[in-house]
A and B are shown apart, each in its own frame.
Chain A
Amino acid sequence: MMRIERITNGIVLDHIKAGVGIEILKLFPTELLRTKIDYASYVDSPSMHVKDIIKIENVDVNPATLLKLALLSPSITISIIRNGHVQSKMTPEIPPLVEGVLTCTNPKCITLLESYLSSRFHVSWNADGRIRKQCAYCEHIIR
């Protein structure tokens, strides 16, 4: 079994939907170059069957990043580690309207040409429990 080491200061991202961890790592481009990151994919999980886990040392997360993390994997739990202890643990809430965080992938969407427009997405849940992110401008649904 793969071992994920304890960290002293940083964040632990747990209960990530299996396979989505690689997308989450893209939110930390600077840290990928300068700090220690542990990433385990498809780890056994009693509650989720399988999941991804990421630990990043010496990093803080702002509210916008928290929201991006939750939009990528709504099941995620984020623990802030200080001096070897869990200072706080959270599952960010996703509001029904998300502004300025996501980018529309429809090449004909007005937000791509008029880049000053703040992106807006209506967030809802499909019957199968999957998250649905729909552009408020062009109605395109992004993955």
Chain B
Amino acid sequence: MGSFSGRHIIDTADLATEEILHLVEIANQLQDMGRDKARHVAAGKVLATLFWEPSTRTRLSFESAMFRLGGHVLGFSEAASTSVAKGETLADTIQTVALYSDIIAMRHPLEGSAFAASTYSRIPVINGGDGAHLHPTQTLGDTYTLLKEKGRLEGLRIGFLGDLLFGRTVHTFARLLARFGAEMQFFAPEGLNIPEYVRDSLESAGANFKEREWRLESIEDLDVLYVTRLQKERFFSEEEYLRRKNSYIINKEALSKAKPDILILHPLPRNEEISVDVDPLPNAGYFRQAEYGLQMRMALIAACLGVVA
């Protein structure tokens, strides 16, 4: 297992299984430490959050993670207010910011941007999303969520429901779950199924997965249901969207058919796909999922800075 100190986090595929489990251990250690002690872990260190496209949740989660480790944060939240708008290249931005900070978390609309940035950076770069390509910190946070909530990944029966074509969180998460022996079922409206390259990689990894049409009874044998947003613009017509969206709503009534301990997850933000009447139920794991995501980002920052073993 390689050391995380100084390392870039671009794709979960770059991480060995035991390295992922080590990050989970670090996340646990930081939580066990308590807030007062954790505030000294990255004291004096600086995180740069470089967000070329808006993302409230991921950016705030990174910034909160660094504050909770006692570090400082600088950065930008949209390209328009930066030297990028004056034509500065990604390489120049990264090399300059690397002089001002100790670690970079970035989001960029173009695919492969985080990898490109890492080739110009002398400090660790963490990919906070590169276009529709990868979102490794979401995946690691989701993995941590399952381990905390269910205690295992192997043999878990996980359903994915919603737009599975454009949802990058599902693509990276499914590929990682395949490594841990989870059983996956994909439910998507016609035309929004998982892309062919994801299906290919799951098949070549020998993953246990099925693609099915969503019915009310589909929920019955699931341990976890991971829901994603159905975006109106992905449908051919408004009529098609309206026809489809109601059949993909998870509400209290739908949950009455599920196992009593089914865990409902969602990468957030949600629209109408999970009814608010689910929120008070213990099955609603999506806000806890956001908290585990924050805790995993704390672990990643601390590990890549080399301030924890």
Contact = CB atoms under 8 A, between A and B. Distances in A.
A34 interface: no
A138 B112 CA distance: 4
Contact of A109 (B89, B91, B112): B112
Given A116-B89, A116-B91, A138-B133, A110 B197 contact: no
B133 A114 contact: no
Q: What size tier do the contact residues of chain A reach? A: 10 to 19
Interface string B120-149: 000000000011110000000000000000
Nearest to B108: A110
Interface residues of B, number: 16
A138 B168 CA distance: 13
Nearest to A111: B112
Contacts, number: 50
A111 B197 contact: no
Query: Which residue of B108, B110, B132, B133 has the most chain A CB atoms within 10 A of its CB atom?
Result: B110
Contacts of A116: 89, 91
Interface in A51-109: 106, 108-109
Interface in A11-61: none
A110 B113 contact: yes
A73 B227 CA distance: 44
A131 to B, nearest CB: 16
B132 A114 contact: no
Contacts of A135: 112
Query: Which residue of B91, B111, B130, B132 has the most chain A CB atoms within 10 A of its CB atom?
Result: B111
Contact of A137 (B91, B109, B112, B197): B112
A106 B112 CA distance: 11
A contact face: mostly helix, strand, loop, or mixed: loop
B131 A108 contact: yes
A112 B133 CA distance: 15
A137 B132 contact: no
A137 B133 CA distance: 10
Interface in A105-143: 106, 108-114, 116-117, 135-141
Contacts of B60: none
Contacts of B115: 110, 136-137
Contacts of B90: 110, 114
Interface in B65-101: 89-91
Contacts of A108: 109-111, 131-132
Query: Which residue of A106, A108, A116 has the most chain B CB atoms within 10 A of its CB atom?
Result: A108
Contacts of A112: 110
Nearest to A114: B90
A116 B94 CA distance: 14
Contacts of A140: 111
Contacts of A109: 110-112
A114 B93 CA distance: 12
A77 to B, nearest CB: 32
A139 B91 contact: no
Interface of A: 106, 108-114, 116-117, 135-141
Closest 8 CB pairs of A and B: A137-B112, A138-B111, A138-B112, A110-B110, A110-B112, A110-B113, A110-B116, A108-B111
23 contacts: A106-B111, A108-B111, A108-B131, A108-B132, A109-B112, A110-B108, A110-B110, A110-B111, A110-B112, A110-B115, A110-B130, A111-B116, A112-B110, A113-B110, A116-B89, A137-B111, A137-B113, A138-B112, A138-B130, A138-B133, A139-B111, A139-B112, A139-B133
